[in-house]
């Protein structure tokens, strides 16, 4: 097969910004074989050595934050005012995983019994394939890369075609930090068939995929003929419920941020908002007031807080969801905002859009929009809100907004989602398990549980010899 050329198109201009060659047939076999050789050497290093290397690499990433942030804005379109924060957050997340790794990777003792010694030891699983998305590439990559390396595995990373240089930067930084050659490798790939071919290579012992449901299912299917674990972090249609007792202005500010930040391009952004009917009109008015203060525009402008969406295809999907809703009775209640009406001409700009009178027969309340759209639906009480929140194939995060935190916690118990917030949203905390329910995925990253998929267990059962 001819090697594919992968071109990254700027979301801001729709002009090419970089080009890379895709993985060759020869590399599909060579890269995993090289990773196996690197693993066999790297696995013998001590956790202390790995700590030192990873810590140095995280320091270098932070030092180069401005360069990496500019590159990220150019490739995926998030405003430059915010991309640096992703780098710093990724470093802080990595440092937390460093801090807890000793405890997470130590032996687990069995029950004490005279004459016996029993324990469970954790061993690195082998070469790990990490396939990560473009929307938060450093954060997503850190979730798997850091525990994989600390556990003693070699790693093969495949970046999104939208953000190809992240893999190159990470490999170079870790080499500079002292990591042995080939412990981190990467390849570029634009077609699912090429990725499926890599997934099928037997030397790969774990697959970590972050992306769409369709992509995750394709990877899982490609791996089905092998006994190999597949961790999937997929999409979301994350709901928020605003109870009548809430501080409406404050909740509106938080919820708009949770829905519009990064142009709504997050698996855990708010995509459905249910509001108690008694405060619905007040909440809508407050959201309009918040949106009046937003600026849609060139992401290289420090004053811009909403940039373009990633592609023309994404723009078309968002527009389709909005038009479907309006055709079925929804109302576009977005306030007048000069920047919304006059965005830059050449990029994939979508105004933050407030929809009211939405129902569950609309695409915008069922399918992943992945854009800056805030659909608001009235509910009569807590029970109706819970029923609506759980009426989805997705289950990544959900949030409840209320002054009664105890009641919010009780409601969160009944929500079908891997993370439930009360009075917060859109924040994967590193000390908590990041995991999806239903079609949002399987497997865990972050927290002490985020190390488990990167190790295999061996039980030791020793009995004293008779005297």
Active-site amino acid positions: 233, 267
Alpha helix positions (H), 78-164: 80-105, 137-150
Residue with tokens 């078309």: 316
Residue with tokens 């850091």: 146
Q: Which two tokens stand for residue 13?
A: 């201009």
Question: In whole angstroms, what is the distance from residue 251 CA to residue 114 CA?
Answer: 59
CA 360 from centroid of its chain's CA atoms: 26
Question: In whole angstroms, what is the distance from residue 241 CA to residue 391 CA?
Answer: 13
Q: At what angle are helices 280-291 and 248-260 packed, to 10 degrees?
A: 60
Residue with tokens 């050595």: 49
Helix, strand, coil fractions of the chain, as percent rounded to 5: 40, 20, 40
Q: Which residues pair with 306 in a beta bridge?
A: 296
Q: Which residues contact 339 (CB under 8 A, 6 or more apart)?
A: 294, 295, 296, 297
Q: Which residues contact 156 (CB under 8 A, 6 or more apart)?
A: 31, 32, 35, 127, 128, 129, 130, 185, 186, 187, 198, 204
CA 162 from centroid of its chain's CA atoms: 15
350 and 328 in contact (C-beta within 8 Å)? no
Question: In whole angstroms, what is the distance from residue 176 CA to residue 142 CA?
Answer: 17
Q: Please give the backbone phi and psi of residue 401, each rounded to the nearest 5 degrees, phi first.
A: -115, 115
Instruction: Identify the DSSP state of 342.
Output: S
């Amino acid at each position: 097969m001819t090697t594919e050329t992968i071109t990254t198109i700027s979301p801001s201009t729709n002009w090419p910004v970089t080009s890379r060659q895709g993985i060759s047939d020869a590399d599909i076999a060579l890269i995993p074989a090289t990773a196996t050789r690197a693993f066999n050497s790297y696995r013998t290093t001590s956790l202390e050595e790995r700590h030192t290397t990873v810590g140095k690499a995280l320091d270098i990433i932070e030092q180069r934050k401005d360069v990496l942030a500019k590159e990220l804005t150019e490739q995926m379109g998030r405003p430059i005012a915010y991309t640096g924060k992703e780098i710093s957050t990724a470093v802080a997340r990595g440092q937390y995983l460093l801090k807890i790794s000793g405890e997470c990777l130590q032996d687990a003792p069995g029950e004490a019994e005279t004459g016996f010694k029993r324990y469970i030891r954790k061993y690195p699983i082998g070469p790990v394939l990490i396939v990560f998305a473009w929307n938060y590439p450093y954060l997503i990559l850190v979730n798997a890369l850091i525990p994989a390396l600390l556990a003693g595995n070699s790693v093969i990373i495949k970046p999104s075609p939208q953000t190809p240089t992240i893999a190159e930067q990470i490999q170079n930084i870790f080499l500079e930090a002292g990591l042995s050659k080939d412990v981190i490798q990467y390849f570029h790939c634009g077609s699912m068939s090429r990725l499926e071919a890599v997934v099928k290579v037997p030397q790969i012992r774990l697959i970590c995929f972050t992306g769409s449901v369709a992509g995750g299912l394709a990877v899982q299917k490609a791996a089905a003929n092998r006994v190999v674990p597949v961790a999937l972090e997929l999409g979301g249609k994350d709901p928020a419920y605003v109870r009548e007792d809430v501080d409406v202005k404050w909740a509106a500010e938080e919820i708009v941020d949770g829905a519009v930040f990064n142009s709504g391009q997050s698996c855990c952004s708010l995509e459905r908002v249910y509001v108690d009917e008694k405060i619905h009109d007040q909440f809508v008015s407050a959201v309009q007031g918040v949106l009046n203060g937003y600026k849609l525009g060139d992401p290289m402008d420090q004053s811009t807080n909403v940039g373009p969406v990633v592609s023309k295809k994404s723009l078309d999907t968002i527009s389709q969801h909005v038009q479907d809703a309006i055709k079925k009775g929804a109302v576009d209640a977005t306030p007048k905002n000069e920047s919304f009406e006059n965005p830059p001409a050449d990029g994939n700009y979508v105004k933050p859009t407030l929809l009211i009178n939405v129902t569950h027969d609309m695409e915008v309340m069922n399918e992943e929009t992945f854009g800056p759209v805030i659909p608001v639906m009235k509910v009569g009480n807590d029970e109706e809100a819970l029923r609506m929140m759980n009426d989805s194939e997705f289950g990544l995060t959900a949030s409840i907004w209320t002054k009664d935190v105890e009641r919010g916690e009780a409601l969160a118990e009944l929500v079908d989602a891997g993370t439930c917030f009360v009075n917060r949203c859109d924040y994967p905390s590193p000390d908590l398990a990041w995991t999806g329910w239903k079609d949002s995925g399987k497997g865990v990253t972050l927290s002490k549980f985020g190390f488990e998929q990167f190790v295999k267990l061996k039980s030791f059962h020793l009995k004293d010899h008779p005297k």
